[in-house]
């Protein structure tokens, strides 16, 4: 089963690497597909790759990734046990927010990740990931730390909303909220897995 899942992910990645469905293909260095076990129980979804990720092909490998790794450790989770991807797989210029047409062009890859892996939990890291998964506007300031029963791309899972780890770079208050959210996430995961 895991081998079939891994094979399906590699096929999806092969499609992503040659994708030209939006203008981001013109400015990317690499497609940043996603990393982690094909049978992960937890999937983390961010908004899009930054400069470091565009160079390394690894989501959350820059400054925000260091914070994410710290948050996972504090929650009693290990980065190597979770699958990490983004709403868009190519870096938007100057790390701007992905545009609606870029998100739509990449939707098939996010849906593919979810339908292939079928995680028990998805953590939406920031408003763009939350909005893309929920299909509606989300205020992370009001909604962070909330858990929903949700179905997306034919897979049913628990959806947990929190801030993007990069937000911790800009304010101690947000970092404190992120830490509290991940502590709560760790407790929820331990009680349900």
Domain count, the chain: 1
* CATH number for 34: 3.40.470.10
pLDDT at 192: 82
Cα–Cα distances in angstroms (integers) from residue 73 to residues 39, 78, 103, 104, 179, in the given order: 20, 6, 30, 33, 10
For the segment 108-126, the average pLDDT, to the nearest whole number, is 97
Q: What is the pLDDT of residues 49-107, one digit of tens each?
A: 999 999 999 999 999 999 999 999 999 999 999 999 999 999 999 999 999 999 999 99
pLDDT at 118: 96
Residue with tokens 């699958």: 83
pLDDT at 165: 96
Is 102 in a helix, a strand, or coil? helix
User: For residue 73, what are the domain limits?
Assistant: 2-192
pLDDT at 34: 95
Note the helical H segments in the chain.
2-17, 51-56, 63-74, 100-117, 127-134, 140-143, 172-192
pLDDT at 2: 81
Residue 31 predicted with pLDDT over 90: yes
pLDDT at 193: 65
Planar angle of CA 19, 21, 26, nearest 5 degrees: 75
pTM strictly above 0.85: yes
For the segment 4-21, the average pLDDT, to the nearest whole number, is 97
Half-sphere exposure for 20 (CA within 13 Å, toward CB): 2
Q: What is the pLDDT of residues 145-169, one digit of tens each?
A: 999 999 999 999 999 999 999 999 8
Confidence band for 144, pLDDT divided at 50, 70 and 90: very high
């Amino acid at each position: 089963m895991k081998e079939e899942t891994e094979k399906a992910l590699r096929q999806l990645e092969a499609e992503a690497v040659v994708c030209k469905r939006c203008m981001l293909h013109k400015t990317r260095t690499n497609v940043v597909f996603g990393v982690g076990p094909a049978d992960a129980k937890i999937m983390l979804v961010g908004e899009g790759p930054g400069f470091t990720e565009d160079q390394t092909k690894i989501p959350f490998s820059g400054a925000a990734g260091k914070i994410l790794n710290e948050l996972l450790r504090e929650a009693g989770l290990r980065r190597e046990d979770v699958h990490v991807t983004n709403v868009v797989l190519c870096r938007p210029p100057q790390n701007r927010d992905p545009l609606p047409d870029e998100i739509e062009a990449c939707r098939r890859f996010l849906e593919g990740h979810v339908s292939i892996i079928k995680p028990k939990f998805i953590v939406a890291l920031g408003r763009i990931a939350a909005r893309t998964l929920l299909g509606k506007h989300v205020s992370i300031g009001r909604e962070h730390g909330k858990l929903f029963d949700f179905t997306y791309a034919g897979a049913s899972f628990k959806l947990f909303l929190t801030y993007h780890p990069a937000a911790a770079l800009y304010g101690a208050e947000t970092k404190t909220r992120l830490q509290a959210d991940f502590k709560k996430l760790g407790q929820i995961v331990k009680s349900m897995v």
